[in-house]
Structure 1
Amino acid sequence: MTEYIPIEPRRLPEPMAMLLLLKPITWFPPMWAFLCGIVSSGASVTGHWVLIIMGLVLAGPIVCGMSQAANDWCDRHVDAINEPDRPIPSGRIPGKWGLWIAWAMSALSLLVGYQLGPWGFAATIFGVLAAWAYSAEPLRLKISGWWGPGLVGLCYEGLPWFTGAAVLSAGAPDWRIILLAGLYALGAHGIMTLNDFKATEGDRQLGINSLPVTLGSDRAARLACWIMGVPQGIIIALLIFWDRPVFAGIIAALLAAQFWAMRVMLTDPKARAPWYNATGVSMYVSGMMISAIALRGLL
């Protein structure tokens, strides 16, 4: 009989697991929103490439990566139920390494954010605090199906857009930029709600009151569709009012295509939410850049 030799737990994190902890796939939305801010500001990019690249890296790999590490550490018990193969519950990132990585990334966020001037630094401070407020006790805003997705939507879409515009123009953005960034951040609440469908069972067991848990799949999905659709309708109306009918028409066409995707998704919200995230959400973020270009010609 072969003698059983127990496997000793890891002492150091697995390099690939550390990359997975930072979830590179989540970096795109804030980086895209930061680019939207740059475009919408109307400022020339000439001579600002170092600042732009620094801001993109800050918005994506550093701040967003930090928020993912903090969330995975604070959610390690939930992930043990929903996704036991994730880096922390699987043991590939052992002990308190997940927490230490999140702390180190927070410090790096502030260090890099300081290089972007007062507006960029203030936005970075807000982003770091929001990440911990979302995931960690005693606030742990993610347990609310209203505050949690709202905060994530703000930090994924609104805050980077504002930061990109503020950093490049070296001042407070025009009120129209802030308004459209805020509307897209509001709509992102619906995107985050759909993202909660994958963790419904673990959320229910551990008292996280996401909208799919509190309202049920069908009602939560329908509400998410309204939350995504209404702000875009307001943006279309604003662009028409600001004499940008062509841009308004393009966004209206994208919204119509999203309505089709929503109808498909609503036939089985829990199963089709990931499909919608790959189709409807792509059209949503495309509309963001169209709006940014419209603002650039307006300001």
Structure 2
Amino acid sequence: MTASIAPFARTTPQPRAMLELIKPITWFPPIWAYLCGAVSAGVPLAGNWAIVVLGMVLAGPIVCGMSQAANDWCDRHVDAVNEPNRPIPSGRIPGRWGLYIALAMTVISLAIGALLGPLGFGATLVGVLAAWAYSAEPVRLKRSGWWGPGLVGLSYEGLPWFTGAAVLLSAAPRFEVVMIACLYALGAHGIMTLNDFKALEGDRQHGVRSLPVVLGPEVAARIACTTMGMAQAIVIALLLIWGAPWHGLAVALLLMAQIVAMRRLFRDPKKHAPWYNGTGVVFYVSGMMIAAFALRNLGVAG
């Protein structure tokens, strides 16, 4: 009996659990989006790698990591149902340490964001506020299957893209860059909806009205895929209008590959959602970089 309860009697966090808390696997989307923004800015990267790398670290390990810590703290009761082995419900991060880590990373995020100039700091502030608005009461936008994924899509794809371009330009990016960033952020709503499938049971028990809970897995999967597909279709159309047909064709081919993967997803959305997030999403984010190079080559960003 003593041996079985010992892991839950910690008074300080387990170091490995702290890394698990900030979920390195989730850092890729904002890092990639920030890099896409930097590419789309049209500014030479050779002399700006320090600020590019700093922004990528801020977007991924720091701000995204902070958002994961905040989410796990605010979701500790839900996770006790869905994933009891996660750091906080398992006791590997005991007491209020999860909250303290999230708050400390919030301060660090703002401090590093200030190094990126006024626009970089402003974008960091928006990202921090969005992270807490998503997870924390009384706002807790994650309770909504519409507002929650939309906010995460904006924070993971649109905001880092805007920031990457704005920091290198030292000015707000042009309309074309903002438009493409917003479209990929809109499409990411579908990615986040598919991500909600893994928490289906706990969300039902704790009143989180994700689309898989409210509409069922089949309908939610179709809405998610339609959202992703429509956003990319508009990107393709814009690239054609702006005189980048080869880039548009490349994005179109990637969209076709996603449609093939979606057919498998629809056979059993609950089972195949994790598989799609590991395959179809790769095609989605590849199209982001192609669109970024299209903007760069056209010179519409600078």
Give the TM interval when normalised to the shorter protein. over 0.9
Query: Which residue in 2 is equivalent to 1:11?
Result: 11
Residues 99-248 of structure 1 aligned to structure 2 (within 5 Å): 99-248=99-248
What residue identity is the alignment partner of 1:39?
V
Distance (Å, rounded) in 1 between the aligned partners of 2:128 and 2:173: 21
SS at match of 2:13: coil
Unmatched segments (≥5 aa) in structure 1? none
Task: Provide Cα deviations, 1:157-209, integer angstroms capped at 9, x if missing partner.
Answer: 00000000000011000110000000000000000000000001000000000
Say whether 1:23 aligns with 2:23: yes
1:33 maps onto 2:49 in alignment: no
The answer to whether residue 278 in structure 2 is matched with residue 273 in structure 1 is: no
Residue in structure 2 matched with residue 55 of structure 1 by the alignment = 55
Question: TM-score, normalising length from structure 1?
Answer: 0.98
SS of 2:9's partner is coil
Q: Structure 2: which amino acid aligns with 1:199?
A: A
Can you list the C-alpha shifts for 1:233-282, whole angstroms capped at 9, x where unaligned?
Answer: 01101111111110010000000010000001000000000110111100
Letter in 1 for 2:210: S
3-state SS of 1:47 partner: helix
User: Structure 2 counterpart of 1:289, which letter?
Assistant: M
Q: CA deviation at 1:4?
A: 5.1
Sort the Cα spacing of 1:136 and 1:4 in 2 relative to 1 into closer, same or farther, 3 A. Answer: closer
Aligned residues: 297
- The residue aligned with 1:94 is 94
Say which SS state the counterpart of residue 77 (structure 1) adopts: helix
Q: Structure 1 pair 4/35, CA: closer, same or farther in 2 (3 Å)?
A: closer
The letter of the residue matching 1:223 is I
Stretches of structure 2 lacking an aligned partner (at least 5 in a row): none
> Hey, what's the Cα distance between the residues in 2 that align with 1:221 and 1:78?
22
Q: CA deviation at 1:298?
A: 1.1
CA distance in 1, matches of 2:12, 2:58: 26
Aligned to 2:257: 257
C-alpha separation in 1, matches of 2:53 and 2:186: 26
TM-score (normalised: structure 2):
0.97
Q: Distance in 1 between matches of 2:296 and 2:202?
A: 44
Cα distance in 2, alignment partners of residues 57 and 258 from structure 1: 29
The verdict on how the C-alpha distance between 1:85 and 1:240 changes in structure 2, with shifts beyond 3 A counting, is: same
Q: 2:17 & 2:242 partners in 1: Cα distance?
A: 48
Report the CA distance shift for 1:4/1:146 in structure 2 as closer, same or farther (over 3 A): closer
- Distance in 2, Cα, partners of 1:195 & 1:49: 32
Match of 1:65 in 2: 65
Counterpart amino acid of residue 76 in structure 1: R
Report the RMSD for the aligned CA atoms in angstroms.
1.0
